[in-house]
Chain A
Amino acid sequence: MARAQGDRKRGRKKSGVTSHVLIFLLCISLMTLGKADISAMNSLRTIMTGLTMPIADVVAVPIRAITSMVESAQAAAKLREENLKLREDVKRLSRWRLQAELLQSENRQLRSVSGVIVPDATTPVSARVIAINADSFAHVVMINIGRDKGIRRGNAVTTTDGLVGMIIDVGAKHSQVLLLTDINAMIPVILSSSSWPATTVGQNTTTLKLRFLPAEATVEVDELVQTSGHGGVLPAGIPVGRIRNINGDLITIDPIVDLKRLSFVSVLVTDEDPGFSTKELLDQAYSPLPQEEDGFSLQGLNALGQREDSDVTQNDGQQDGN
């Protein structure tokens, strides 16, 4: 009798271990399927996110309130110091505003003369951030608007300071934003003062790396980096970050937006579908290199780091022909 009970107990333990191992293997399979970017998995994720979003939103309210209270108390402590700094900033910004107005006027005149085509207009739609990445595995945030506001995959997400990231998943009333610091985020950029093209790559930390920069390019610390518009997914001219450190080939960038303090963002909704797809991005995203001579050309590396044989103008022509 006692032996039979012992056998039953051992049998139960064995089946418990087997089911434990099987469920663990199920988890590994789910991770692998997710990596394979299967559409059924993406749809499942979108549905689950839609279901869990209201709970995440409710739980975030007291945390946001406490954080805001602590930050307000900290700000009150150094109010005087900040006031002086702000006065100086106002003076400096007034000078900049005057200069910006002059440049804007000059820009308008030059455009009318040269016939430059102005990029498609985008409509900014405001959204509240519900959840920010708690782990370093993925740098993704969730926002509280989705298809109901016309959001599409590939739309740029910004604040008043600059680029935050781009939409990667859209639900009925929520969207997921891939931050530019995510390891999978590659943004085609140009250096603002020298116009050298490059690509920023996230590292799942608070900084970015600058890659595919031509060897001849000169970079300066604190130089502004902005989107180039290459690839046609993100609009050109959105500030991305400033060069922080140059250590040989390793150039690090500080994002211009304080991603730790995101509460509201703007999604730049375009009238046309940005046509975001990983494959198209890899096929189309150019990080042009100049020729060895002095002149510029759009021949260069694609997002895979492969050198392209034909230049962009020729490609466009061929596509039109097709």
Chain B
Amino acid sequence: MLFDRKADQILFQQVFAFVLLMLAVFVESGLGLVPSFYGSVPKISFCLLFLIALNRPAAVPLYPVLLVGLIYDTVQGSPFGYTSSLYLIILGVVEWRRPFLIIADPSVIWSEFVIMLVGLMIYIFAVFMIFHGAWPPFAEILFQIGFTALLFPIFNWMISFGRQVGLYLGGEQ
């Protein structure tokens, strides 16, 4: 057989996930222009990466995720590898908790996401203090993480809705 249908499907998912994450990164960067989000834009890419890794783990291999993080760091002027390290933590957490989360209620998934965000916040604080030798701006980071936590259910609902539509149109579970 010349074409492997499953491999093609996975490749399509990987390309789609990469494009989606790239779009999220540039939208986040653009949202910095909105005065209310100055310096604390909600992390859309965190929500998307978490949900994609949970529902389609094969769609988010490590290297494209590393690349997306590096591009974000380029646009934002943060140290190279900083955002990629955050993304890799998300991937690691999802991989670890996936057997439990895949059958869990949306509220449980949300609470696990919030717990993960708290962990990420501690990591952000630590990196900030090591890099700048000063206390991080707590209010800004809290606002950013809080807003991200509030946005997560919307993305979760959108992805579930997309899956239902896909199933209705004859796609696979």
Q: How far is the CA of A206 from the CA of B134 in the complex (A)?
A: 16
Task: Please name the residue on chain B nearest to A71 by beta carbon.
Answer: B35
* Segment from A23-31, A219-227, A275-283 that makes contact with B: A23-31
Set B38, B40, B134: member contacting A259, Cβ < 8 A: B38
Task: Please name the residue on chain B nearest to A49 by beta carbon.
Answer: B74
Are B29 and A56 in contact, with the CB atoms below 8 A? Answer: yes
Q: Does B77 contact A (CB under 8 A)?
A: yes
Contacts of A44 in B (CB 8 A): 80
Q: How far is the CB of B58 from chain A (nearest CB, A)?
A: 11
Are B30 and A131 in contact, with the CB atoms below 8 A? Answer: yes
Q: How far is the CB of A284 from chain B (nearest CB, A)?
A: 22
Q: Does B26 contact A (CB under 8 A)?
A: yes
Q: Does A139 contact B (CB under 8 A)?
A: yes
Set B22, B77, B79, B141: member contacting A136, Cβ < 8 A: B141
Question: What's the dominant secondary structure at chain A's contact region?
Answer: helix
Interface residues of A in 1-45 (CB under 8 A from B): 16, 19-20, 23-24, 26-31, 33-35, 41, 44-45
Most buried by B among A26, A59, A62, A203: A59
Contacts of B5 in A (CB 8 A): none
Q: How far is the CB of A24 from chain B (nearest CB, A)?
A: 5
Are A28 and B32 in contact, with the CB atoms below 8 A? Answer: no
Q: How far is the CA of A140 from the CA of B76 in the complex (A)?
A: 7
Given A52-B75, A56-B30, A142-B75: A205 touches B80 (CB 8 Å cut-off): no
Contacts of A131 in B (CB 8 A): 29-30, 32-33, 75-76
Q: Does B156 contact A (CB under 8 A)?
A: no
Are A27 and B85 in contact, with the CB atoms below 8 A? Answer: yes
Are A133 and B32 in contact, with the CB atoms below 8 A? Answer: yes
Set B37, B62, B74, B137: member contacting A23, Cβ < 8 A: B62
Q: How far is the CB of B9 from chain A (nearest CB, A)?
A: 20
* Segment from B10-18, B65-73, B165-173 that makes contact with A: B65-73
Chain A: residues with Cβ within 8 Å of the partner, total of: 51
Task: Please name the residue on chain A nearest to B88 by beta carbon.
Answer: A24
Given A49-B75, A205-B139: A129 touches B80 (CB 8 Å cut-off): no
Set B34, B39, B84: member contacting A63, Cβ < 8 A: B34
Q: Does A302 contact B (CB under 8 A)?
A: no
Q: How far is the CA of A210 from the CA of B40 in the complex (A)?
A: 24
Q: Does B162 contact A (CB under 8 A)?
A: no
Q: How far is the CA of A132 from the CA of B31 in the complex (A)?
A: 8
Set B28, B77, B128, B132: member contacting A140, Cβ < 8 A: B77
Q: Does B119 contact A (CB under 8 A)?
A: no
Contacts of B51 in A (CB 8 A): none
Q: Does A246 contact B (CB under 8 A)?
A: no
Q: Does A159 contact B (CB under 8 A)?
A: no
Q: How far is the CA of A139 from the CA of B77 in the complex (A)?
A: 8
Q: How far is the CB of B57 from chain A (nearest CB, A)?
A: 10
Contacts of A20 in B (CB 8 A): 62, 88, 91-92, 95
Interface residues of B in 116-150 (CB under 8 A from A): 124, 127-128, 131-132, 134, 136-137, 139-141, 144
Q: How far is the CB of A171 from chain B (nearest CB, A)?
A: 11
Q: How far is the CB of B29 from chain A (nearest CB, A)?
A: 5
Contacts of A100 in B (CB 8 A): none
Q: Does B59 contact A (CB under 8 A)?
A: no
Set B29, B39, B62, B88: member contacting A204, Cβ < 8 A: B39
Most buried by A among B33, B74, B141, B144: B33
Mask, A122-135, CB within 8 Å of B = 1, is 00000001011111
Set A135, A184, A261: member contacting B78, Cβ < 8 A: A135
Q: How far is the CA of A91 from the CA of B52 in the complex (A)?
A: 59
* 3 A-B pairs with the lowest CB-CB distances in the bound complex, closest first: A140-B77, A30-B81, A27-B81
Extra pairs beyond A56-B30, A183-B134 (8, CB < 8 Å) = A27-B66, A27-B82, A34-B80, A132-B38, A134-B31, A135-B39, A205-B140, A260-B35
A-B contact pairs, 23 of them (CB 8 A): A23-B88, A24-B88, A26-B66, A27-B84, A27-B88, A30-B80, A31-B79, A31-B80, A31-B81, A31-B131, A45-B80, A52-B71, A55-B22, A56-B29, A56-B30, A67-B34, A133-B76, A137-B76, A140-B77, A142-B75, A204-B137, A205-B39, A260-B35
